[in-house]
Structure 1
Amino acid sequence: MTDFIAKAVLKRDVFSETQKGYLAGEPDKVVIRRVVTASPIWTRPLAWILARREIAALRAVKGIEGTPQLINTDKDGLERTWTEGAPLHLARPSSREFYKDAFRLLRQLRRAGITHNDLAKPQNWLMTPEGRASVIDFQLASRHRRRGALYRFMAYEDFRHLLKQMRSFAPDLMTPTGKRILARRSLPSRIWMATGKKVYNLITRGIFNWSDGEGTGDRLQHEGEIITAALQKVPGVRDVALTLYPLPRKGVGLYAFVEADGDISAQLRASQDNLENGARADLVQQVAALPRTAEGEVRHDLLSLVAMNQIPDLTAIIERDPALAAIVSPIIAGRLNFTDRRISRLETATNA
């Protein structure tokens, strides 16, 4: 197999590490590598089950526009093509053309016998620079050789989840039929939410200490209120926003953005000493203003990109909005985390 040169780690959890890089000799072609053997030994059997599901699904969607294409597999994991685009919670698509293309993509997946099963997450949908729809992350996807009741239910749920994305980002495009579909879950879905979903959450969040999304929400839930309250007590603080970022070795850190005037950085740091239950923000950055939506809501999506040092992705978003750039650019310049990756044993061996 052609050597893979990793440039950054996009995501890590108990099931794999997802790296962004390129194949030797092709530096201009971006490739994604999922390293299953970077997972802990105790989760690796399940990690390989998820990886094999992804491999099977990617083989089935070969040639479908808007899906990743499988490149290679080996004893450590798999490599696939990179999809250029912004996740829906950042792109916020509102055009009819985007959703028309997204429904086209779902129809093609159905014809290939594939249900994605994880399209409720807006980060699994991308809007490409051309305004087209793409989907990523096929770890939970199913390949159906028969179009029975289970297939029809899963395909219907994929459809419902796309409608939910439309309702979130383009509610004016919702038809009466779409609204009726979202207003009432199917019977299997209601049963799942009442039974299977609870078991799923117990296993992933309790046993694996992993949550949906980036698998890192628990610390924010447990410590967030304590940290926010302590920071808001500092004189001069107007608002506080917390987000997460990967720590260099393991786990996640809490990054606090504090909106205030004057230099009160010392007081902010001191406010984190001796908090209840050992709560503490790992990084505290004072900012002149927090980015907000037109309705005044803090743009946590942008702050998360700052915290994770995903500056190229962030720059591509704010350069289209000069007013937003004026607020976010100073935050980027003053950021406190300058790494979004760790060197794994596999990378060390490859680069030695």
Structure 2
Amino acid sequence: MTSLPDLSTARFLPETVHKRDAFSETVSGRLNGVADFPVVLRKLDGVPLWARPAAWWLARKEVRALRAVAGIEGCPLLIRADRTGLLRSWTQGTPLHLARPADAAWYRDARRLLREMRRRGVTHNDIAKPQNWLMTPEGRAAVIDFQLASLHPRRGPLFRLMAREDLRHLLKQKRAYAPGLLTPSEHRMLARKAWPARLWMATGKRAYNFVTRRLMHWSDGEGTEDRVDRDGPGLRAALMADANVREVALCTYALPAHGVGLYVFVETGLDAAALRRLAPEPPPELIQPVAALPRHADGTPRLDALSLIATNRLDELTEMMAREPDLAEVLRPIIAGRLNLTDRVLKR
């Protein structure tokens, strides 16, 4: 592996934007002249003025935590932090909600990872999200996204409570994906939330939901209102009436705290502004012109793939493209131009 001093001065070459919110933009890529070492940048130089204090407060927390866990297998490597943002190694692996590990070995390794972090005085504080746990290609456990992590040099009562909550959240993942592996003591631990967790659920979570869903535009589901049935027929007819439009595909995506948005993919040579002029009221929230839509053998659009793009589920798209290389060629330009870059928080 290239030494850290070389990595710290290498130029970052961006490739894929994964998500964007008020406090950062997450971009994966590589380092110029460094082979086989994918990286990810939490980009902060484009953050709006009102969000910068909070964005850099979170960034400083992440920097401290990543420096503390350096060298622990399964934790990202911090490469540098500067005015642009935080650059760290990209962890290869499958998110837990896709990997769904049923082998006791993965959970043993995950406990090992939490134990080593605890020895460094670090609690993660955000591993209730299955997206923050990974199964590596070797079947090992890894954890990412240390934005909410905290460092406890004195390892006092608060540290012990937060470390316990990290473990309890790991056990919640085990209950979701391998319930038969839970031991009696683990069942008892799951049944007893620590008092900060109970207090959080009763008070702080409401404020957290307001900030993450209304300000940061994270979401926890696709909603229930069927916008496709209600607005789709008129919208499709209006767009297809133009000779430059070859096909239209409609999908939905979550509008945090505001229900469901309509995401329209249009196979056309027209630009988005022209398509918006064609669209009737109420207009769709997002409309993306594409050169070619992915299609089934019978010629109908691949709504399974387009729905993943509309909801910004890059993990599942990566797996789909690995299984279907021919489909990948059509999807890549659509993914690169996608219009929804919000984080997707899964609901159990």
Q: TM-score w.r.t. structure 1 length?
A: 0.71
- Structure 1 residues 230 and 20 mapped into 2: Cα distance closer, same or farther (>3 Å)? same
Could you say which residue in structure 2 is the equivalent of 1:264?
Answer: none
Over 6 Å off, 4+ runs: 231-234, 283-289, 299-302, 328-332
Q: Structure 2 residue aligned with 1:4, among 9, 12, 16?
A: 12
Could you say which residue in structure 1 is the equivalent of 2:308?
Answer: 304
Tell me whether 1:87 sits opposite 2:95 in the alignment: yes
Q: Aligned equivalents of 2:90 and 2:70: distance in 1?
A: 14
* Counterpart residue type for residue 304 of structure 1: L
Deviations 1:224-250 (A, max 9, x none): 50414427989xxxxx974469xxxxx
Q: Aligned equivalents of 1:128 and 1:199: distance in 2?
A: 34
Tell me whether 1:225 sits opposite 2:232 in the alignment: no
Q: Structure 1 residue aligned with 2:33, among 22, 25, 32?
A: 25
Tell me whether 1:113 sits opposite 2:116 in the alignment: no
> Alpha-carbon deviation of 1:35?
1.2
- Structure 1 residues 201 and 80 mapped into 2: Cα distance closer, same or farther (>3 Å)? same
Deviations 1:5-51 (A, max 9, x none): 11111221111111111222114321111111121111011100011
| Consecutive unaligned residues in structure 1, runs of 5 or more | 235-239, 246-251, 258-271, 290-298, 343-352
Higher RCO (CA-CA < 8 Å; seq separation 6+):
2
Contact 1:254/1:283, CA 8 A, preserved across alignment = no
Tell me whether 1:99 sits opposite 2:99 in the alignment: no
Q: Structure 2 residue aligned with 1:57, among 41, 59, 65?
A: 65
- Structure 1 residues 305 and 282 mapped into 2: Cα distance closer, same or farther (>3 Å)? closer
Q: Aligned equivalents of 1:49 and 1:25: distance in 2?
A: 32
* Counterpart residue type for residue 317 of structure 2: L
* Counterpart residue type for residue 230 of structure 1: R
Contact 1:22/1:29, CA 8 A, preserved across alignment = yes
Q: Aligned equivalents of 1:188 and 1:310: distance in 2?
A: 33
Could you say which residue in structure 2 is the equivalent of 1:39?
Answer: 47
> Alpha-carbon deviation of 1:339?
1.5
Could you say which residue in structure 2 is the equivalent of 1:182?
Answer: 190
- Structure 1 residues 144 and 341 mapped into 2: Cα distance closer, same or farther (>3 Å)? farther
> Alpha-carbon deviation of 1:58?
0.5
Q: Aligned equivalents of 1:310 and 1:42: distance in 2?
A: 29
> Alpha-carbon deviation of 1:282?
3.9
Tell me whether 1:154 sits opposite 2:168 in the alignment: no
Tell me whether 1:16 sits opposite 2:20 in the alignment: no
Q: Aligned equivalents of 1:170 and 1:301: distance in 2?
A: 28
> Alpha-carbon deviation of 1:205?
3.2
- When the two structures are aligned, how many residues end up with a matched partner? 292
Q: Aligned equivalents of 2:196 and 2:335: distance in 1?
A: 45
Q: Aligned equivalents of 1:95 and 1:303: distance in 2?
A: 31
Does the residue aligned with 2:25 lie in a helix, a strand or coil? strand
- Structure 1 residues 335 and 17 mapped into 2: Cα distance closer, same or farther (>3 Å)? closer
Tell me whether 1:145 sits opposite 2:153 in the alignment: yes
Q: Aligned equivalents of 1:82 and 1:286: distance in 2?
A: 29
Q: Aligned equivalents of 2:69 and 2:174: distance in 1?
A: 24
Deviations 1:288-335 (A, max 9, x none): 69xxxxxxxxx9899525864848x63546757xxxx6xx97698579
Contact 1:13/1:210, CA 8 A, preserved across alignment = yes
Contact 1:227/1:281, CA 8 A, preserved across alignment = no
Matches within 5 A, 1:237-248: 242-243=252-253
Q: Aligned equivalents of 2:305 and 2:184: distance in 1?
A: 30
Q: TM-score w.r.t. structure 2 length?
A: 0.71
- Structure 1 residues 332 and 177 mapped into 2: Cα distance closer, same or farther (>3 Å)? farther
Kindly, what percent of the aligned residue pairs are identical?
A: 47
- Structure 1 residues 195 and 338 mapped into 2: Cα distance closer, same or farther (>3 Å)? closer
Does the residue aligned with 1:195 lie in a helix, a strand or coil? helix
Q: Aligned equivalents of 1:63 and 1:34: distance in 2?
A: 20
Q: Structure 2 residue aligned with 1:125, among 133, 144, 149?
A: 133
Contact 1:243/1:300, CA 8 A, preserved across alignment = no
Matches within 5 A, 1:264-275: 273-275=280-282
Q: Aligned equivalents of 1:47 and 1:124: distance in 2?
A: 19
Q: Structure 2 residue aligned with 1:337, among 313, 334, 337?
A: 334
Q: Structure 2 residue aligned with 1:314, among 307, 317, 338?
A: 317
Q: Structure 1 residue aligned with 2:209, among 201, 208, 215?
A: 201
Q: Structure 1 residue aligned with 2:75, among 59, 67, 79?
A: 67
Q: Aligned equivalents of 2:56 and 2:207: distance in 1?
A: 21
Q: Aligned equivalents of 1:85 and 1:149: distance in 2?
A: 34
